[in-house]
Structure 1
Amino acid sequence: MNLASLISEKAKLWVKGRKNLFIKIKNSISPKDQVIWMHAASLGEYEQGLPVFTALKEKFPTYKFVLSFFSPSGYEIIKDQSWADLVFYLPLDTKKNAEKLIKYLHPEHVIFVKYDFWFNLLQELSKHHINTIFISTIFRNNQIFFKTYGKWIISILQKVSHFFVQNENSQKLLNSIGIPQNTISGDTRFDRVKMLLSQSIHLEWLEQFKQNKILLVAGSTWKEDDDLIEKFIHKTDIFENFKILIAPHNMNSEYFQKLKKVLKVPTLLFSEIEGKDLQFYNVIILDTIGILTQVYSYADIAYVGGGFGKEGVHNVLEPAIFHTPVIYGPIYHKFIEAEELVNNGGGIVIHSSKDFNTILYELIQNDQKRNEIGQKAQKYILNKPNSTQIILRYFKS
């Protein structure tokens, strides 16, 4: 790993963040503290678990709350959050590390978000009879647990005290392999995005940029998505009443500069906005992380990237909660919320550059249609049950 850190910036952060980890934990948690610990693989899982973690903090005000990450994409953004008493990188899953974590953290409850199965850690938690739950978990038939050659790994799942799963199929799959300790609670991401409506969001730079024009926010875009936007820009003269903000998934400075150059309309990087009169620019490229959710609140139309790549579309819920029509590419079927959003009339799937141009023109020019689709998008989320409350009943005061 030390050799890799010379090559990869992420690996450097991974190594640096785990330095003196157990000293850090010992200095933050005393033997007398009562501890609740949540683990999130990365930023997406953190956002998913946040409603539950926040609710538990209210329910157990005298407890210490600790949060762990595996990926720098979560840790580096959240490490200075004041509501958590300790934020740390989870070390490699060895027996020795698991023993030390349990010894120094001595948690009463441990919450894993979605699915991040650490064999040695789960073994140690089970050995000490520590309440261990998974929330917003989703299981599919093609996962190793449900294959004949994967039966040996079922023992990992058996170490878990309780699973809160997203849907009936996940529950059936767990029951089929003899794991009845499960409850259907839905997806806490819906609770998380509902929380966004109560937040006061004010981005002065974005208001100066947008003015009173229609704003397309293209979030988590890959090259295929940015190519669609580039082709649209080169075929249109609609900027009299229209602006675009692009938030690429690829956080690479060279990529940002190339994208800025090919767009051939007045374009700025977010890092360049200071001192500029933003109303005279057509496009801003968001070359920073952590503010896309806030930016979505200003969108009149949203495009979510990833739907033209093998991994599939990114988070469609964040723009949808803000009463915004959401456009995305055709690879979305493994994401239940993306399927349901389309079925409920709040999402629009495109298959080509021609589709993108047609849909975008129509939404820009037809206020009524844009508003109707946006209403359906928001209503889809607001109608979802409160998953956090279902999970919270499991924790006795």
Structure 2
Amino acid sequence: MSAFLYQLSIRTYSFLMHIVAWFHPKARLWVQGRKGLLQRLADDLPVRIGQQPVVWFHAASLGEFEQGRPVIEAFREQYPQYFILLTFFSPSGYEVRKNYALADYICYLPVDTPQNARRFVEITKPKFAFFIKYEFWYNYLRELRRKEVNILSFSAIFRPQQLFFKSYGNFYRDILRYFDHILVQNGESEALLRSIGLQQVTLAGDTRFDRVKQIAEAARELPEIAAFVKDSPCLVVGSAWDADMQVLIPFLNSVQVPLKVIIAPHEIHNEEIERWRQQLTQPSLRYSAYVSDGGVAPEHTQCLFIDNVGMLSSLYRYGHLAYVGGAFGTGLHNILEAATFGMPVFFGNRKYQKFQEAVDLIGMGGAQPVQNTEELRQYMQPLLQDYTLRQQKGETCRQYVLARTGATSQVMSEVEQYMR
């Protein structure tokens, strides 16, 4: 019965996405990216692959891709003879990383029906399949197991409220048993899996820490940003949503100390950026206008709005404090990119609890959730006035990231067991 309901839910979801695609651009990309996909794969892949063995990496979206990227790159370096196939479920991953140079072929994942799974596996013939963090597609996993493909999940994280651990969750527990090995982020996840009889489990940590370390080491120098910040304290606002800005804007309008602010919206909408600028009492600039004027900002310009995609990870190197968006809405965005540069991190007080790093850093004093503007002012103002306190909290964040690197090596050690 559970298998039937699963198949029905997958087909219903696909049907609804085709309807929503008439009105929603992301849904339209989701549908269009899958149109004729299996036929294109059948036409293209056999020629491209030739005699190479195939390794398949699957990520739900951009965040999971960035999490898995250190493993993809380590695999490429250690096993260059493999053809790397990379798939995405969401347009927010595929559309941003469809030209990623270290994968040999990148595409959407066809909808998880028995027919699609069977044909996809027959066409691609993977020797290895990696699923990053949350991805548990029943038909694909069953088909991979039937073909005796090695299947690993890494950077996985589990919580007691998930269906795997409910009394009625037998179907979902069986899905997990298709994996040869599951490498988890924390001890709670390991204990939960062992409590349902899964023994092929390793506590390896989270490969995102390796990724943010890579990002910090490869961060671009941006002379125009350095010129904007100069000697002032700088607040970098990453992945800002409107709900975040409604907390931030009154605070910025009331700040009495010198402060530069760099704001990177979660999505670039010109009308929204202009509305935010109008609500600010201090002068602001759009990045595109700033660079077109030769990197010269009018006097007293406080805020710089980034109106392009791809700069955020390098912007953090110029910050002294960070506010990361999303927690007032769908969920907190990546705070580790800010933490690795050694700065205190702020975010909304709602949807952050499922992010272990947020919970950890709050407990350690490096991060602070805020409910409203008054709380933001209460916690941020002392850091603007006290350089030593700001440095201490920032160093807490930096050391937290450094102490947790190394998960990629553990994943690759597990891979070696299957290469012998």
Q: Are 1:359 and 2:379 matched, yes or no? A: yes
User: CA–CA distance in 2 between the matches of 1:19 and 1:299?
Assistant: 43
- From 237, 246, 260, give the equivalent of 2:277: 260
In structure 1, stretches of 5+ residues that fail to align are: none
2:324–2:347 CA contact under 8 A, matched in 1: yes
User: CA–CA distance in 2 between the matches of 1:236 and 1:59?
Assistant: 51
User: CA–CA distance in 2 between the matches of 1:278 and 1:48?
Assistant: 36
User: CA–CA distance in 1 between the matches of 2:75 and 2:267?
Assistant: 34
2:366 maps to: 346
User: CA–CA distance in 2 between the matches of 1:250 and 1:358?
Assistant: 28
- Distance change (3 Å), C-alpha of 1:200 and 1:337: closer
- List aligned pairs for 1:136-155, cutoff 5 A: 136-155=155-174
1:324–1:378 CA contact under 8 A, matched in 2: yes
1:303 maps to: 323
In structure 2, stretches of 5+ residues that fail to align are: 1-16
1:282 maps to: 302
How many angstroms does 1:42 deviate by? 0.3
- Distance change (3 Å), C-alpha of 1:103 and 1:365: same
1:210–1:279 CA contact under 8 A, matched in 2: no
Q: Please, which moves more after superposition, 63-72 or 352-361?
A: 352-361
Q: Residues 183-207 of structure 1, C-alpha deviation per residue, up to 9 Å, x if partnerless?
A: 1111111111111232141123322
- List aligned pairs for 1:108-119, cutoff 5 A: 108-119=127-138
Q: Are 1:130 and 2:149 matched, yes or no? A: yes
1:382 maps to: 402
Corresponding letter in the other structure for 1:258: R
2:354 maps to: 334
* Alignment size in residue pairs: 394
Q: Residues 90-142 of structure 1, C-alpha deviation per residue, up to 9 Å, x if partnerless?
A: 11111121112111211111101001111111111010010111111111110
Corresponding letter in the other structure for 2:386: N
Secondary structure of the structure 2 residue equivalent to 1:395: helix
Corresponding letter in the other structure for 2:297: Q
How many angstroms does 1:143 deviate by? 0.4
How many angstroms does 1:163 deviate by? 0.5
2:49–2:83 CA contact under 8 A, matched in 1: no
User: CA–CA distance in 2 between the matches of 1:51 and 1:24?
Assistant: 28
1:100 maps to: 119
Q: Please, which moves more after superposition, 128-137 or 321-330?
A: 321-330
User: CA–CA distance in 2 between the matches of 1:4 and 1:348?
Assistant: 37
Secondary structure of the structure 2 residue equivalent to 1:273: helix
2:412 maps to: 392
Secondary structure of the structure 2 residue equivalent to 1:108: strand
User: CA–CA distance in 2 between the matches of 1:198 and 1:308?
Assistant: 30
- List aligned pairs for 1:198-277, cutoff 5 A: 198-238=217-257, 241-276=258-293, 277=295
How many angstroms does 1:256 deviate by? 2.1
Corresponding letter in the other structure for 1:279: A
1:32 maps to: 51
- Distance change (3 Å), C-alpha of 1:369 and 1:57: same
How many angstroms does 1:287 deviate by? 3.1
How many percent of aligned residue pairs carry the same amino acid?
Answer: 37
How many angstroms does 1:292 deviate by? 1.4
User: CA–CA distance in 2 between the matches of 1:4 and 1:23?
Assistant: 24
- List aligned pairs for 1:169-180, cutoff 5 A: 169-180=188-199
- From 314, 320, 324, give the equivalent of 2:343: 324
2:235–2:322 CA contact under 8 A, matched in 1: yes
Corresponding letter in the other structure for 2:35: K
User: CA–CA distance in 1 between the matches of 2:55 and 2:90?
Assistant: 20
Scaled by the length of structure 2, what TM-score is found? Answer: 0.89
Q: CA RMSD in A?
A: 1.9
Corresponding letter in the other structure for 1:365: Q
Q: Residues 39-74 of structure 1, C-alpha deviation per residue, up to 9 Å, x if partnerless?
A: 000000001101111111111011111111011111
Q: Please, which moves more after superposition, 203-212 or 22-31?
A: 22-31
Corresponding letter in the other structure for 1:359: Y
- Distance change (3 Å), C-alpha of 1:235 and 1:72: same
- Distance change (3 Å), C-alpha of 1:171 and 1:200: closer
Q: Residues 151-199 of structure 1, C-alpha deviation per residue, up to 9 Å, x if partnerless?
A: 2222211111110011121112112222211111111111111112321
Q: Please, which moves more after superposition, 56-65 or 344-353?
A: 344-353
1:14 maps to: 30
User: CA–CA distance in 2 between the matches of 1:307 and 1:106?
Assistant: 40
1:246–1:283 CA contact under 8 A, matched in 2: yes
Secondary structure of the structure 1 residue equivalent to 2:292: coil
- Distance change (3 Å), C-alpha of 1:255 and 1:155: same
- Distance change (3 Å), C-alpha of 1:217 and 1:79: same
2:206–2:407 CA contact under 8 A, matched in 1: yes
- Distance change (3 Å), C-alpha of 1:18 and 1:312: closer
User: CA–CA distance in 2 between the matches of 1:97 and 1:327?
Assistant: 43
User: CA–CA distance in 1 between the matches of 2:354 and 2:19?
Assistant: 36
Corresponding letter in the other structure for 1:322: F
1:43–1:74 CA contact under 8 A, matched in 2: yes
Scaled by the length of structure 1, what TM-score is found? Answer: 0.93
- From 88, 91, 115, give the equivalent of 2:107: 88
Secondary structure of the structure 1 residue equivalent to 2:263: strand
Corresponding letter in the other structure for 2:23: I
1:260–1:269 CA contact under 8 A, matched in 2: no
